[in-house]
Structure 1
C-alpha cells in the first residue's frame, strides 16, 4: 500500500489549475454557459488533451492486450471509449480510441503515457507519433443545424462514435459524433495550426444559433450531469502507487519532445491525477482507484480476449461492491455551509460554485449511521437543476434512488459537517447523445 500523504492537495502538493488553453474562466457568465447544452449549443476547447498515434502490424494486438474492450467489431472510421486497467482491475487510462486504418489507431486521453510505456517495453512491432491537433466540442440541441450549415453537407448519416470528413472554409476537418454533455454533439479534429480558423468559423456561423463559449470555470458540470467520471477529477488513475516506479522512471527518461511545451512535461508526465482533497483520510492511495464496474462502464468489458486485469474484473462483475450514482445535496445544508463564513464559530470549507477551479481528485466520505458506505467526488452546482451535485461511488446496498445518506464535509483537521444528501441516478440528466439524426427536424 502506498502512503497517500504526498498527494494531499495544498498540504503536500499544489493542485493543478485547469489549463489556460481551455480559454477564459467565463465568457457570457457561467449560468448562461451552463444552459447552452440544454437549450442551444456551445463550443468548448479540449485541444490540450494529448494523443498517441500507433501504426504497424502489432498495433491492434497492443490495444487488445491493454484494453477491457472487445475489438471483434471495430471498423475503420469508428471510435470507442477505450478502458485500460491494472492487474487489480482499477482504471489506469481511459479515453477515445479512433481507428483510421487496419493498423492505424489514435488514442486521445489524459494518460497516453501508459500506452507509450507498454509498447516500448513490450516488444511490439509498431511506430509511434505524438500529433498535436485541435479538438473542439460543439454540443447541444442546435449543434446539428449549426454544423450542417457551416459544412454545407448533411450530417444525418453519422452514427454515434463514428467519424466523417467535412470541409470548413476550405479546411479539412474530421467530425467525431459523441456528446460529452449528454446531448447531440460533435468533436472537430484537425491540425493544430488550423485551430484559430476553425474555432472562428464555428463562432461566426453559430451567432444565429445563440452559440456560447464554454469557460473553464464551469467545464466539468456537463461531465457531472451526464455521468462521465474523469481521471484526476472523479478518481485517481492507477499510476501513483509504488508498483509503478519503473513506469515513472521510463517517463523521466523518454518524454516525447512534442510534450515539452505542454503541462505533460511537468507534474502530469506520469499521471493526469496528481492530487486529492476532501474528508477521506485513508491509509493508501490505492483506495482512490476505481474499477470500470463501479464507474458504470461494465458493459464495455468483454472477455473475448486476454487483457490486464481480466481476472479481477470477472470476479467483480459477478459480485459488484459499489455503483456510480449522483448525490443531490440538501440545499438548506449547503446554505448553512455558506452562512458559517459570516458568523462566529466554525467556518466550513467552501462549496465552490459552480465547481472548484482545481484539477484534483475530490473525495468525501459518504456516511450512514456512522459507517462509511462510499465516496462522494468533485462537487458542483447545476444552475439548470438548481442543485448541488456530486458523482459518487457507493455500496450497492445504498445505491437505490431516493436513499438518504450524509456526506462528511471538510478536510481532516479542519471544521467538518455532515451534509444530507439523496441518492439519484447517474446520469442525472436525460441522455440524448444517441438520437437518430435522420429523425430530427430543423
Structure 2
C-alpha cells in the first residue's frame, strides 16, 4: 500500500508540473511537417536526435569567427589539433566526436536532475561556434591560431548583463567559452588567451598525467617548437606567468614518472596533486573537498579536463590511456561537486574517436562531462554576479 501511495503522489506531482516551460518539446524549422494532434497546437517539427547537423547538445550554430553580430553567454568552440601528442594521434577529430556523443543530451528536455537545473533552458544563451581553423602542418602557427580564435570568441560582450561590471582585467563581464579538443597542447594557447582577459588564473586540471614536465625530460626539446607538447604545456604556462601561484590542482593523477623529481618540479610550477587512487580512501567527497580547499571561491577558475582521467574501460579512445582511473559516474560526481567555484572557461581534450568502440563510449562520456560543466556555469549565473557577490561580502564585513 505504501508503494502505491508513493506512486500516486509522484504521478500527481508530475501531472501538476506538466505544463512547465522547461518541458516544451524541441522545435525545428519544418512547419509543413508539424503534426497537429489538437486544435490550436503550435510549433514546428524538429529534427530527430539522430538527424541534422551536429552541434553540442543540438544548440544553435553560428559561425562566430566569421561574424561579430551574434551574442552568447556560453560558447562551444572546437580546436582540432593533435600534432603535439606523444602516443596516439587522432584528437583532431575530437570536436566532431564530442558533438556526435552529445546528440541525445536534451532528448528528454535537458534537465540535469542532480544539479536541479536545465542548462538548455535558462538565462544563458548557449551556442556552438564551430571550430577554429587550425593548420596541421605548422605547430607554431596552429598554436597562434588557437589563441587568437579563442580570444576572439572570449572578448566579446555577452548576451546577458553585458554592461555590468565583471571579473575581467578591464572590469567587464565576458561570456564563458568551452573548448573541445584537440590534444592537451591546446591548453597553452587557451591559457594565453585567458591571461589577456583575466591575468594569471587558477587552474583545476583533471588528468592521469602531470603535464608539467620539463621539456628536456619529456621529448628532449630538440627544438623550440618540439618543447611545446601535451606533456609540457603547464611548464611553459608557469614560466610565462599565466598561472595563479599556489591555487592550482591536479586530480586523477596515476602516471609513471621519470623520478620523484617530477613531483618536485610539479610543486614548483604551482600544483597540488590528488592521486586517482585516493578515491579508495577518501572517496569522491574527499576529493571534492581537496579541490575546494585549494582553489577557493573568489578567483576566476579555468577547468581543463583530459578524458584519460577516466579508466580505459570507460574511455578507451584517448591519446595516452592509463589503467586505474575513475569511472564515468565518479568523474561526473566530482565535477558536480565543483558547484560554488567560479568557472569562467573550460576545455575537454584528448578524445580520439578512431580508438572508440562502436558504442561511442568515450565521446558520450566526454559530452556528458561537459553537460555537467555547462550546468555548473548556468547555475552560477552571469559573471557579473561573481563581482556582485564579492561586493556584498565586503559590505557585510564592513557592516560588522
**TM-score scaled to structure 1, two decimals?**
0.25
Structure having the higher helix fraction is 2
| Bigger strand fraction | 1
Return the TM-score normalized by structure 2.
0.27
